[in-house]
Amino acid sequence: MSERLQKILAAQGVASRREAERLITKGCVSVNGVTAQLGQSADISVDEIKVNGVLLGYIPEHYYIMLNKPRGYITTVSDDRGRKTVMELVSELNVRIYPVGRLDMESEGLLLLTNDGHFANLVAHPSREKLKTYEVCVRGNAAHAIPVLKQPMMVDSHLVQSKSIKLIRQTEKSATLEIAIGEGRNRQIRKMCKNVGLEVVSLKRISIGDVKLDSLPIGKWRNLTDSERFSLMRGD
C-alpha cells in the first residue's frame, strides 16, 4: 500500500513525522535509488527506501524512555550550531531514538524519547491534549498574577488557558507555582508569566498525563513501564 514517506519513516521508528520531513528535505531519503521529495509516496513492500543509505523494511525493537532533562541541552536529534543535545544523555543506548515534544534549552524535567512513530504521534497529537504539569519558580507579585494567569489570554496570536495553577511556596521576592496546561505551545508558560509581569527563574516539567518524573535524577533516564506507556497512548 502506498503511503507518504514521512508516515513510513515514523512507522519504522526512524524519526517522528516532523523530523522525517526534515530528513526528506535534506535529501537523506531515497526511493529506488532516487533522492525523495517532500510529499512523495511509496510502498515499503515494493519500493527500496533508504535513509542515509540504510535500507528500511525491518521492524525495529521499540524503546520508550523517560529522561530528566537538565538545563543547557536542546531537545533535538542534532544541532548544526554545536550545542549540547538531549541525545548525548542517552547515547549509551546505542539505538536511534528521538524526542517526543520539546523542552526549551533553559527548561528541565520530564522528556519522552522513543523510536516508535505510532507512539510518538499518539502522545504528541494536539487532539489528545495530555495534561502537562510544570513546577515554575518566578519573581514578581505571584498573588496578584495568579487570578489573571487562570484566565484565557493571547500568546503568539493563539488563545490559551491553563488547566490549573497552584501556589506551592511564597517568599518575599519569589514564588513557586505548579501550572498545568494542555496545549504545550512553544515557550507557552514563560510567555504567559511574562504577560502578567512575572519573571521565570526556573521551569521544570514534572508530569505528562499520569506519568510523573518523581525522583529520577537530573540527566538520568529510565524505561517507561508498560502501564505508563499504555496510559500515554490512551485518548483520555
> DSSP code of 224?
P
Point out the residues that are catalytic.
Answer: 104
N-to-C CA span, the chain: 31
Residue 62's Cβ-side half-sphere holds a number of Cα atoms within 13 Å equal to 16
Q: Any idea which residue has 522525517 for its cell?
A: 20
Give the separation between CA 195 and CA 209, rounded to whole angstroms. 26
Between the alpha carbon of residue 114 and those of residues 121, 122, 162, 170, the distances in Å are 11, 12, 27, 37
Give the separation between CA 23 and CA 99, rounded to whole angstroms. 15
